[in-house]
Amino acid sequence: MRIAVLSDIHANMHALQAVWDDLSRLEVDAIYCLGDLVGYGAFPNDVIEFVSRNRILTIMGNYDEAVGYDMHESGTLPRSAQQDRLDRISLAWTRETTTSKKKGYLQSLPLNRREAHRKLRMVFVHGSPRRINEYLYPDLPQATFKAMARLADCDVLFTGHTHMPMVKRIERTWMINPGSVGMPQDGDARASYALLTRGLRLDIVIRRVAYDTKAASDAVIRAGLPDALAHYLTRGQLVRARTDMLEGEKTG
Is 250 a residue whose pLDDT tops 50? Answer: no
Q: What is the pLDDT of residue 238?
A: 63
Indicate if the pLDDT at residue 244 is higher than 90: no
Beta bridge partners of 191: 209
pLDDT, tens only, 98-145 = 999 999 999 999 999 999 987 899 999 999 999 999 999 999 999 999
Q: Mind listing the domains of the chain with CATH numbers? A: 2-251 (3.60.21.10)
Residue 16 scores a pLDDT above 80 = yes
Average pLDDT score over the chain: 92
**Whether the predicted pLDDT of 243 surpasses 90:** no
Q: Are strands 57-58 and 173-177 parallel, antiparallel or unpaired?
A: unpaired
| Whole-angstrom distance, CA of residue 112 vs CA of residue 125 | 5
The one-character DSSP state at 176 is E
Q: What is the mean pLDDT of residues 146-160?
A: 97
Query: Sorting pLDDT into bands at 50, 70 and 90, what band is 76?
Result: confident
Helices (H), 7-166: 13-24, 44-53, 62-68, 81-97, 100-108, 142-152
